Structure 1
Amino acid sequence: MNYPFSNERKVIDVGSTGSRLHIFELVATAASESSDAPDTRIKCLRRGSSKAWTPLSAFAPNGDAVNEQTEPLNSTHVAHHMLPLFDYASIIIPPVFHPTTPVRIAATAGMRLLPLEQQSLIYDALYEGLSEQQQLGQFTFTGLKREDIFTLDGEREGFFGAVAANYLRGVIDAELKVIVDSDADELDSLMEEIVTEDVATDSGLCTNKFGMCEQNAENVLFGPSHHYVPQSKHDVRIHGPLGALDMGGSSTQIVYRRKGVQIDDATLQNNGVIPENELENIDYDVPSHLHDDEFFSVSYLSYGADQFRERLWDLWVYEAQQKANHHATNNINDNKNVILNPCSFVGYEIEYKGYILLGTGNAIQCSEQVNRLIPYHDDIIDLDELYDENKAVEVDSNQLEGDKSKLTPKKKLVGGVEHPPLRGKFYGMSLYFFTLDCLRELSDPDHPIHLSWPTPSIEELSHALDTFCARRWQGDLEEVQHEAHEHTRAEVLPHRCIEAVYMVTLLRDGFGFHPSSRDITFIQHVEGNEVEWSLGLALYEFAAERKRLTSQSGIVE
């Protein structure tokens, strides 16, 4: 089938640590293996990717304000660092498609941290430099326009991640249309499978589909449980569209559909598992397409792993300086510049702003420190007030005089944003996968996280943190830092403790995932394709283009 659009698309993800090129191909599929007639369905295939390790934000002008920059940016210099990406793309994509291949250069949190004026200066220089290279024959994708280079809004980044997750899981097609299994008998069978567990009681072994035992979240003992939900199939009529959790170095995103199956309090107490006798009473709300206005999507700038770590370190340094000033005022001789760091492996040392951070590897204490910075995004001013705002229970003086059973649990607000109730299942991607997979890899070989992966409970993850962070750096992790984990470079390994504690604490205390729930699948690839927002952007734009062309041709779908 010939469509009036290019079947090749390119998206460059301009992140805080570098720029990644993604190439996608959209192809029509045959109606059946025995038929040559193409179907109206389209598959989106990932053709390849490449990365430039210099972040685009590194080209920001010097000085706090743009008007302090005395010389314009060197457009050739800015463009040259990306040319290898386009050279790679020109090899993968046939030359006949070069003039018509859509190119999007979308920047995320690394550029969002810069003032808008500086972003525009960098984008102008990049576009000018690529145009110069086009005239020299070094840049062959002539369809690029200045508006194709932009900063992606954080909420859109989150939604595009959800689009990618739902597409790869088979919940939607390439035009964002929700795929619903019309076979009611198969649906009933699936629902029965989800709420029924076959657990052996004589030997203490689990005999469910995945042969794994679930933990008891009350006392952190591990054994059979009714909470485990098989992940073999995702039926949108039961779980709704997938939500997405994404984290990078500078920001983190959470996105999920606001509407969904109405779950009563009793079901919530049962960890979201719907009793079998209640299945027929469920009022399903299945959308026809994935619409971004139906999703709750929020992005937290400076809540990415690197930015959050530095903000926590800044807090400790500030406190140490306050303590030093107090001692100086009171003529106390204290020249110590060592800060004990519970969020790093035992014995690991790093110099930061004149202080030595010495790792003590205490995951519980680290979680307490992390919780100090989860509620608000503002700069630290009143540390005592900030800490009080994150207490689990808000005690009102009037309440104390009355019935204590009416004490109101204080809502945990991430960055001051109140979320609607969590709904459905989620894919945890990017750093969520890389970091927590490292936690799994370096945990006790007998820990249940190995059996439950990639859908461990929050409590299992929390339990695994203790021994993980308590590992020593010298004589242990330092010796294997170059091959400790497939997705962890040597320079990143020392930070995996704080990253893992931060993520688990954020999921549990910030976003409110139930400790024993298995609503998150931590994943990198589905059917050989990486789950990331750039695929979602390509699909979203393709769906919009198809809708526009269909409308112009007068075709009613």
Structure 2
Amino acid sequence: MSAQRAAGSLTDCREMKEKNPWHTPVTISITVIGVIAIVALVTVAVLQNKPVPQKYKYGIVLDAGSSHTALYIYKWPAEKDNNTGRVEQEHSCKVKGKGISSYAETPWQAGESLTECMEDAVKQVPTKRHFETPLYLGATAGMRLLHMENSVASDKVFQAVEKSLQKFPFSYQGARMLSGQEEGAFGWVTVNYLDDRLKQGLETTGALDLGGASTQISFVPKNYIISESPSNSVTFRLYGNDYNLYTHSFLCYGKDQVLRLALAHQTKSGPGEIADPCFHPGYSESKNYSVLYDSPCVSDRKPQGAPVTFHHKGEGNFQQCQEVVKNVFNFTSCKYSRCSFNGVFQPPLHGQFGAFSAYYYVMDFLNLTDTSVPLTTVKDKLAKHCATPWNQIIQQHPEIHVKYLAEYCFSGAYILTLLTEGYNFTSESYSSIKFIKKIKGSDAGWTLGYMLNLTNMIPAEAPDSPPLPHAGYVSIVTVIALLIFTLFIIFLCRFRPSSSKQPQIV
């Protein structure tokens, strides 16, 4: 039977060849179908394998600090990375003027001060993402102090800020004060996130943050129970790992407020003049007692019967300056197994530490960011800077405002005293500190950690997907391929050259 079928097929082919195959309707139809099938196959393959564009979400955080406000724009892929959005800093803008807490008497100006940076943010974030971009303002120690001093004034400042921010086309989520614990913990998240330590499950880095009104220390202790002081414990779950973090914020121990504490100690008797070892020789300024003591950190220490002003002279003696600075700490009382200062519990230091914000800016100016240099050498260099005459300092740094320039000697002495006497870094462990400004293009600080934490509460957006599911794509390609193969066989059959007829031998 198979032989008969084969003979029949050959007979059919010979009959087709005897006709002109190019002009028959069947041939034309086959040709058209074949072309369409090939085009369809190529089109489906191209569309299915076309690169899928990455979609991003955006978030805006305003860091309302004691001395100034900064705006940060973050972006991250719409698809989450192990339940934690991969956030990176896209843009930043420093608000002109002082921190919002300085507008207590004119709260409307606090809102107006943010306008320029907010208009910049409107341009930076894609228009189609405006309505879904969350906008947050976090106020830190400056507003915490204002709230302590005058809660009505702090409420009015927040109201003015909210009124201003709500005018912009973003998803405004509110303005609030961060606790010192939150500020320290989110700073720790930032440092470790940027170093990829959280995602890779590596040993974490501690965080040292120094602002104008407060300072924070945060780290994961080694084999030490933090339950001794629950208020200093924070637990995070990031990238599938749990972190039991020690953190504490010292209000009034930022570099600006601690200078008030030091001056208050030196003027507690209400003198008309003080010789300050923390300022350069030749420095001389008249200062107002009311301005100095106009802060909750020192207001209860103002001497009775003091004159309106006092003469502030510099002597430039680093060793004596350290003794002045030590007077702002209380090392005598501790109800726990161990403390840092002012009776605050602190477990033993562990691991590497990243020091940022004012830590970096002060030590960078003093050219002391290299912690591989022995601590004794660091102190010698700082002593030399403090002893440099004030007029020479001004000549060497004409671009820096004299107020800030005059305070670097004090700030440097305070930082070293805080780290060694306050937090118990030794000559050996001092080298474990790294002074940092940015990590991988993002500013070190609490805002990125804050934004990273918030992305855990933002639903993941489904990524753009190919037009067809994989199974459907495979089925369509298979059908089209079989069709093309069948048409190819038919063409071979129709247009196979005829063999020469041989005479039959009888």
TM range (shorter): 0.5 to 0.7
Distance 1:29 1:419, change over 3 A: same
Gaps of 5+ in 2: 1-51, 226-236, 290-308, 463-506
CA contact (8 A) 2:224 2:347 kept: no
Give 3-state SS (helix, strand or coil) of 2:278's partner.
coil
- 1:435 corresponds to which residue? 362
1:243 to 206, 216, 219: 206
1:399-456 CA distance string (max 9 Å, x none): xxxxxxxxxxx9664232121111111100011011111222xxxxxxxx58xx1554
* 1:114 is aligned to 2:134: no
C-alpha distance in 2 between matches for 1:128 and 1:41? 31
Deviation at 1:457, TM superposition (A): 4.8
2:115 to 79, 83, 91: 83
Structure (1/2) with the larger helix percentage? 2
Give 3-state SS (helix, strand or coil) of 1:144's partner.
strand
CA contact (8 A) 1:427 1:521 kept: yes
Deviation at 1:29, TM superposition (A): 9.3
- 2:159 corresponds to which residue? 124
2:101 to 57, 64, 87: 57
Paired AA for residue 363 in structure 1: F
- 1:470 corresponds to which residue? 387
TM-score by length of 1: 0.61
Paired AA for residue 366 in structure 2: L
Give 3-state SS (helix, strand or coil) of 1:150's partner.
strand
Paired AA for residue 247 in structure 1: L
Paired AA for residue 351 in structure 1: S
Deviation at 1:545, TM superposition (A): 3.6
- Counterparts of residues 292-441 of structure 1 (less than 5 Å): 294-321=244-271, 337-352=272-287, 353=289, 354-375=309-330, 389=332, 413-440=340-367
1:179 to 200, 203, 208: 200
Give 3-state SS (helix, strand or coil) of 2:456's partner.
helix
C-alpha distance in 2 between matches for 1:260 and 1:542? 31
Stretch of structure 1 that moved more, 301-310 or 109-118:
109-118
* 1:144 is aligned to 2:172: yes
Give 3-state SS (helix, strand or coil) of 1:166's partner.
helix
Deviation at 1:515, TM superposition (A): 1.6
Deviation at 1:118, TM superposition (A): 3.0
C-alpha distance in 2 between matches for 1:510 and 1:548? 46
C-alpha distance in 1 between matches for 2:382 and 2:410? 10
1:122-159 CA distance string (max 9 Å, x none): 2123223444xx3xxxx222x214xx200011111111
Q: Which has the higher contact order (CA 8 A, sep 6+)?
A: 2
1:216-240 CA distance string (max 9 Å, x none): xxxxxxxxxxxxxxxxxxxx2xxx2
- 1:514 corresponds to which residue? 426
Deviation at 1:481, TM superposition (A): 2.4
C-alpha distance in 2 between matches for 1:260 and 1:101? 41
* 1:43 is aligned to 2:78: no
1:4-47 CA distance string (max 9 Å, x none): x96101000001122110001113799xxxxxxx9998532211
CA contact (8 A) 2:78 2:460 kept: no
Distance 1:411 1:167, change over 3 A: closer
Distance 1:502 1:547, change over 3 A: farther
Distance 1:254 1:510, change over 3 A: same
Give 3-state SS (helix, strand or coil) of 1:491's partner.
helix
1:543 to 456, 474, 480: 456
CA contact (8 A) 1:28 1:39 kept: no
C-alpha distance in 1 between matches for 2:127 and 2:155? 31
C-alpha distance in 2 between matches for 1:121 and 1:2? 45
Deviation at 1:491, TM superposition (A): 3.0
- 2:472 corresponds to which residue? none
Paired AA for residue 383 in structure 2: D
CA contact (8 A) 1:347 1:360 kept: yes
Superposed CA RMSD in Å reads 3.2
* 1:258 is aligned to 2:221: yes
Give 3-state SS (helix, strand or coil) of 1:17's partner.
coil
Aligned pair count?
A: 373
Deviation at 1:121, TM superposition (A): 2.4
Give 3-state SS (helix, strand or coil) of 1:254's partner.
strand
Give 3-state SS (helix, strand or coil) of 1:319's partner.
coil
- 1:13 corresponds to which residue? 63
C-alpha distance in 2 between matches for 1:421 and 1:288? 26
CA contact (8 A) 2:184 2:209 kept: yes
- 1:155 corresponds to which residue? 181
Distance 1:291 1:97, change over 3 A: same
C-alpha distance in 2 between matches for 1:315 and 1:255? 29
CA contact (8 A) 2:79 2:461 kept: no
1:165 to 173, 176, 191: 191
- 1:444 corresponds to which residue? none
Distance 1:102 1:252, change over 3 A: same
* 1:493 is aligned to 2:399: no
Distance 1:57 1:374, change over 3 A: same
C-alpha distance in 1 between matches for 2:154 and 2:238? 37
Q: Which has the larger radius of gyration?
A: 2
Deviation at 1:538, TM superposition (A): 0.7
